[in-house]
Amino acid sequence: MNATTVIIQCEPSQQWELLLEQERGQTLLTYLIARLRQIHGADRIYLFLEDAGRRKALVKEAKRQGVRLLHWAPSAILAWLSLAWRSLRTGAVVRVSESSAFVDPEITNRMIELLESESADCVYAAGFPEGTTPIHVISPKYVARRILRNLNTIAHGPDFISAVRRVVKGGKTAYLRFASLYRTVRIPQSFVVRAPEDLAVLRELFGETLGELRLQDVVNLYGDVERTIRHLADRRGRSMAPYRINAILNRYEAETGRTALQSFPVSVGFNIMPICDVDCKFCSFSPQEMDNRDRVTLEEFKRLDWLKYASEVALWGGVGESLINPEFLAIFNYALDQFPHLKISLSTIGKSLRPEISDQLVGRLSFLNVSLNAARKETHAKIVKAGRFDRVVDNIRYLTDLRKTRSSTLPRVHLSMVVMRENVEELPEFIDLAADLGADQAVVSHYLATTIEGTRKAGEESSLYHHRELADAMLVKAQERAVARGLNVILPPLFSTTDCNVLFGARSEFGPSGDCFLPWSTCHLSVDERGRRQMLFCCSGMYLRTFYDVSQMDEAGFVKLWNGPIPQHFRGTTNSAGNPLCTFCKTEDRFDPTNKKIYDIDQTFGQTLEAMGNQAGQGPLLTLAKRV
Ligand code: SF4
């Protein structure tokens, strides 16, 4: 490798002015550039600004520091061409994300080393959700093969790397597991900067020494686990941004393998309405089975004062339709007023996404998924019984139009489809509909034919695992349509693609799975298919037998649940063979109807967990009282 170009890619929605913050007389941009120049061969550094016109101060400072600017071009396509040209002329391109102000050269070097191996055209850190990895490295040959062919999609995609990854079929990708860095760099994810508040938090934590510290130094400084946890927990209690320190503490506890946590989950899902207003064919229970289910009231929601420590909350989870909770707007408004830092997301079937609700959501809700599942009215009626297709489409259009009128980017809108025999032929039309409705992304996932409880109404025959050629043909068409329409789309891999990993229990072209931290970072206060409230860490396909009572979810009650014997056992075994559910998640395809292993795991591991809960006196705590 002769040279490495580093491109700091500033995406419009991110807060790159952070780089102009002063720290001990120097801007963070100076600090970052100095850091990047330590990287072998990283003598060419570019700032790729998609919205240079709005960032005059940053442009001026970059020029002053001799950083070259990309994107003086008048259009996105020319800008991407310019980026591709720079990539082709160099040995490797390191793409720095916004969270990389403290990126460590050791990581970069290791990634470039991987890039030089035969098998790697593109290196990502494995096992982390997109957007949280500190750095990506790609080689020009990776770009060269595909980029020009797919220029249109890439130009319209919000993220160069993910757009390339999405459109490139068969390109080789190497994944850097953080475990492989253990000898050189301890996992530094806890200490990355993600927003201006982070800088303040880092100042609180590391004070005057900040400007001189490398990530490794920070980790060394806080190498004493007990002391660090005490320090972080103490700081959290006094901080102006407790949720930021909680996120750092949470990551730190995950990395050090703690099972009883001082930190609260960073991401919380809360099912506030386990009753539904439709009857989906791919779902394993029906509205008529739901008459004993209990919604969450505003008063109950107010007990969750510990949400001040969380960073995001999903007002949905498991089963049900949140928008038909008569207090949905009251809960949403309360959450935003009380915890203004929270990113709130919602998934809905769309029938009850009425204009008066959208009026409140636009500009304030962070993310919205509408589970549309069809492109034609007749098909929608068969799959989503009582779904009112026209009304759903009108509702979505109202929301996206309003978003435009208010010049807001919020909420980000995804339209999703559970793809099955009944709707697969509509996939290209579904892409068209999503584009016409102004969605930001279409998301397609397979129908899951197996379930621990309940009976899927559609049956196994509806699974496309029994109609593979047809499915592949339609997936290819959908991909082509998305390219033509410039729409982001997440599609499952073709059945003919054999070079797949398993990620979250599904065939995937991403991955492979790295170490999983969800049992530390994530908590779904969910509802199972029998209407019982259970806490989960992920959509693993099995219930954990961690029952909870909504009326006991104040801080003390939540901590008892969060650090109960089952969660602790689960965390203690997550990344080892001692957890058959996690092993299943990393090796088995649960969407394949012939794969029945989850039943065995539910019987064996599930019952072990249940016994553990019973022994600790933490059996079902439910006190269901029917409310109107
Ligand atoms: S099953 Fe285990 S490895 Fe899979 S997502 Fe859940 S916690 Fe992570």
Q: What is the pLDDT of residue 231?
A: 78
Does 205 or 276 have the greater pLDDT score?
A: 276
Give 441's DSSP letter: E
Q: What is the largest CA-CA distance in the chain?
A: 70
CA of 124 to the centre of ligand 1 (A): 20
- The number of the ligand 1 atom at minimal distance from the alpha carbon of 519 is 7
CA of 486 to the centre of ligand 1 (A): 33
- Domain map (residue ranges) of the chain: 4-181, 189-255, 267-562+571-615
pLDDT higher than threshold 90 for residue 266: yes
Highest average pLDDT, of 90-99, 439-448, 606-615, comes from: 439-448
pLDDT higher than threshold 80 for residue 123: no
> Could you read off the pLDDT of 525-584 as tens digits, one per residue?
998 877 788 899 988 878 888 888 888 899 999 999 999 999 999 999 998 889 999 999
User: From CA 240, how far away is CA 83, in angstroms rounded?
Assistant: 40
Q: What angle do CA 218, 224, 225 make, to 5 degrees?
A: 100
User: From CA 146, how far away is CA 171, in angstroms rounded?
Assistant: 9
Q: What is the pLDDT of residue 503?
A: 86
CA of 206 to the centre of ligand 1 (A): 33
- Residue nearest (by alpha carbon) to ligand 1 atom 1: 582
pLDDT higher than threshold 80 for residue 591: yes
Strands (E), 549-614: none
Ligand 1 pocket, residue 574 CB under 6 Å: yes
Q: Which residues contact 255 (CB under 8 A, 6 or more apart)?
A: 186, 187, 189, 190, 517
> Could you read off the pLDDT of 352-401 as tens digits, one per residue?
999 999 999 999 999 999 999 999 999 999 999 999 999 999 999 999 99
Probe ligand 1: pick from 128, 259, 585, max atoms within 8 Å of CB?
Answer: 585
Q: What is the pLDDT of residue 183?
A: 47
The 3-state DSSP class for residue 602 equals helix
User: From CA 265, how far away is CA 520, in angstroms rounded?
Assistant: 6
Radius of gyration of the chain measured on its C-alpha atoms: 24
Report the predicted TM-score, pTM, of the whole model to 2 decimal places. 0.76
> Could you read off the pLDDT of 268-293 as tens digits, one per residue?
999 999 888 898 888 877 766 665 56
Which whole number is the average pLDDT over 185-203?
52
Mean pLDDT of the chain: 80
β-partners of residue 623 are none
Which whole number is the average pLDDT over 198-211?
57
Q: What is the pLDDT of residue 450?
A: 82
Residue 123 near residue 138 (C-beta atoms within 8 A): yes
Q: What is the pLDDT of residue 56?
A: 85
The 3-state DSSP class for residue 205 equals helix
Q: What is the pLDDT of residue 413?
A: 95
CA of 512 to the centre of ligand 1 (A): 13
Probe ligand 1: pick from 538, 571, 598, max atoms within 8 Å of CB?
Answer: 538
Q: What angle do CA 450, 452, 454 make, to 5 degrees?
A: 85
Residue 302: pLDDT band (50, 70, 90) is very high
Is the domain spanning 267-562+571-615 CATH 3.20.20.70? The answer is yes
- The number of the ligand 1 atom at minimal distance from the alpha carbon of 538 is 6
- The number of the ligand 1 atom at minimal distance from the alpha carbon of 513 is 3
Which whole number is the average pLDDT over 154-171?
51
- The number of the ligand 1 atom at minimal distance from the alpha carbon of 570 is 7
User: Could you tell me the CATH superfamily of domain 4-181?
Assistant: Spore Coat Polysaccharide Biosynthesis Protein SpsA; Chain A (3.90.550.10)
The 3-state DSSP class for residue 14 equals coil
Residue 301 near residue 255 (C-beta atoms within 8 A): no
Q: What are the phi and psi torsion angles at 555 (to 5°)?
A: -55, -45
